[in-house]
Amino acid sequence: EAQVTQNPRYLITVTGKKLTVTCSQNMNHEYMSWYRQDPGLGLRQIYYSMNVEVTDKGDVPEGYKVSRKEKRNFPLILESPSPNQTSLYFCASSSPKGTDTQYFGPGTRLTVL
């Protein structure tokens, strides 16, 4: 089954404790991206990757890091989480940018205390 998986689905952590949210897709997609969704602000893009070893900033990259060492994986790293990063995070993937719909993961609900 074609899918985008994220782990963990729910996470409660404390300020400053490094964490990684994993994202994996099994559709051999070149393009992957991360979004956060906040009430009243909608979905905003954090980072995206056009292919392996190619990443770029989205709308709200501050406080986040990403890497794309393999085509299928695109982890989101919060080196020093802060309460304002409490949010619902989505990973998505698609074929070459602009040509196909994006497939979204189920979301990761992160709470930073």
Partner 1 sequence: KQEVTQIPAALSVPEGENLVLNCSFTDSAIYNLQWFRQDPGKGLTSLLLIQSSQREQTSGRLNASLDKSSGRSTLYIAASQPGDSATYLCAVDNNDMRFGAGTRLTVKP
Give the interface size with partner 1 as a residue count (CB under 8 A). 24
| Block residue for tokens 């994202």 | 23
> What is d(CA 53, CA 111) in angstroms, rounded to the nearest whole number?
29
| Minimum distance of partner 1 from residue 61's CB (angstroms) | 10
Nearest-Å Rg of the Cα atoms of the chain is 13
Question: Between residue 6 and residue 45, which ones bind partner 1 under the rule CB under 8 A?
Answer: 33, 35, 40-45
| Block residue for tokens 């400053």 | 16
Asked if 107 touches partner 1 (CB under 8 A), the answer is yes
Cβ within 8 Å of residue 101, ≥6 positions away: 94
| Minimum distance of partner 1 from residue 90's CB (angstroms) | 6
The contact set with partner 1 (CB under 8 A) reads: 33, 35, 40-45, 48, 58-59, 90, 92, 97-107
